Amino acid sequence: MSEGVRKGQKSTAARAATTYGAKAYAAASASSPLAGATIRRREPGPTDVQIEILFCGICHSDLHTVRNEWSGFMPTTYPCVPGHEIVGRVTEAGSAATRFKPGDVVGVGCVVDSDHSCRNCRDGLEQFCPGATYTYNSPDRHLGGVTFGGYSESIVVDESFVLRVPGNLDLAGAAPLLCAGITTYSPIRRWGDIKGRKVGVVGLGGLGHMGVKFARAFGARVVVFTTSPAKKADALRLGAHEVILSSDPEEMKAHAGTFDFILDTISADHDINAYINMLGRDGNITLVGAPEKPLGVAAFALLFGRKSVSGSLIGGIRETQEMLDFCGEHGITADVEVIPIRRVNEAYERMLRSDVKYRFSIDMASLKAE
Ligand code: NAP
Ligand code: ZN
């Protein structure tokens, strides 16, 4: 930990806020493993809620950030405590907090603050606010330094960025909805009515398997593109109608030009043109995966057929609540492998090998016990 963090001192940029120590897992550098640490959290202010974290999903963005793979765009400040798929129980609510009370089961996703006044905030798209505070590795306007995420026993968040988790959902499986869920729900909804349309989901990982569930729930004909032959049976079980092994040129050729919409969730460098070629006229491929290096789009792949490539980033608070309520109504959660926090570094290695079925969810009781 940095000196300031370890001793609970406030940086010069910090406002006067009293703090308490919380157990967490932090990375000290881009090449160090995550290890136990104590971080400072602010005591809840008037509109804050303090949350005891019960489960936190492991998103590939956590790994990109811990290893500083997005250094050109958002460099990582160390120590880094990742985690933005948070489900927990409210332990304290500030004097002016009206939406939550102690005991409520709640979620926190990728954004914990914004300026509340810009056009994006007014449109309910806080993730695009120029003043957005992300859950980790983002300037912390209360304490100085950067924000610390959900690999921790507790977190303090302004209540307007806290979500209600439907009571019927398994909490370990609900945690990934806060990022993987909304990141796939939002572009599918935005595309329009996908009922009966041919929708592809590229990459069957944390995001991809949620994309399959949502596309199926909205009535699409769902086709998964995977590099992993062993995932074929699971893809069908998760709701896909068909599975294409992307390394098989014959399988790819058979589907060329037939898709209305494709959601690309791949975390690493890949040939996006292979998927653009799968689209029919006016088809769209939306990137949610965030590989370190730029992807090379062939102009001619887009020109013939008036196709488009776009991107999508999580979703706003209002839409995230809508997604959680939808999951409550339809009994949708992530398929999770629940792990104790001491196995987080091993989980990262498995995620890199595409060996995750289909999201790791950390049982935070294991951190308390350490
Ligand atoms: P993940 O669980 O690791 O899944 C990624 C999947 O991509 C893998 O399971 C694998 O699927 C496929 N893949 C991996 N490497 C590949 C390669 N070299 N070539 C082809 N396919 C490959 O990761 P995730 O948590 O779903 O995140 C996916 C990406 O989305 C990450 O870059 C993450 O940072 C980003 N993300 C973006 C947002 C957003 O708001 N836009 C939100 C969250 C995450 P198969 O085994 O099926 O091939
Ligand atoms: Zn994420």
pLDDT in tens, 262-297: 999 999 999 999 999 999 999 999 999 999 999 999
What percent of the chain has a predicted confidence (pLDDT) above 70?
A: 96
By DSSP bridging, strand 308-311 and strand 221-226 are unpaired
Contact 263, 201 (CB under 8 A): yes
Q: Does an H or E element contain 182, and which?
A: helix 180-191
Predicted local confidence at residue 17, as pLDDT: 78
Tokens, residue 132: 């957005």
CB of 267 sitting under 6 A from ligand 1: yes
Q: Whose CA is nearest to atom 36 of ligand 1?
A: 289
Q: 7 falls in which pLDDT band (50, 70, 90)?
A: very low
CB of 127 sitting under 6 A from ligand 1: no
Contact 188, 211 (CB under 8 A): yes
Tell me: the pLDDT tens digits for 285-341? 999 999 999 999 999 999 999 999 999 999 999 999 999 999 999 999 999 999 999
CB of 203 sitting under 6 A from ligand 1: yes
| 357 alpha carbon, closest ligand | 1
Q: 16 falls in which pLDDT band (50, 70, 90)?
A: low
Residue 366 Cα, ligand 1 centroid: separation in angstroms?
A: 27
Amino acid at 210: M
Tokens, residue 83: 């985690």
Q: Which residues, at least 6 apart from 174, have a Cβ–Cβ distance to it below 8 Å?
A: 55, 87, 107, 165, 166, 324, 327, 333, 334
| 226 alpha carbon, closest ligand | 1
| 265 alpha carbon, closest ligand | 1
Mean confidence (pLDDT) of the chain? 95
Helix (H, G, I), strand (E, B) or coil at 101: coil
Predicted local confidence at residue 2, as pLDDT: 36
Predicted local confidence at residue 331, as pLDDT: 98
Phi, psi at 138, each rounded to 5°: -135, 145
Tell me: the pLDDT tens digits for 155-168? 999 999 999 999 99
Residue 18 Cα, ligand 2 centroid: separation in angstroms?
A: 29
What percent of the chain has a predicted confidence (pLDDT) above 90?
A: 94
CB of 186 sitting under 6 A from ligand 1: no
Tell me what the mean pLDDT of segment 76-83 comes to. Answer: 98
In Å, the largest CA–CA distance within the chain is 64
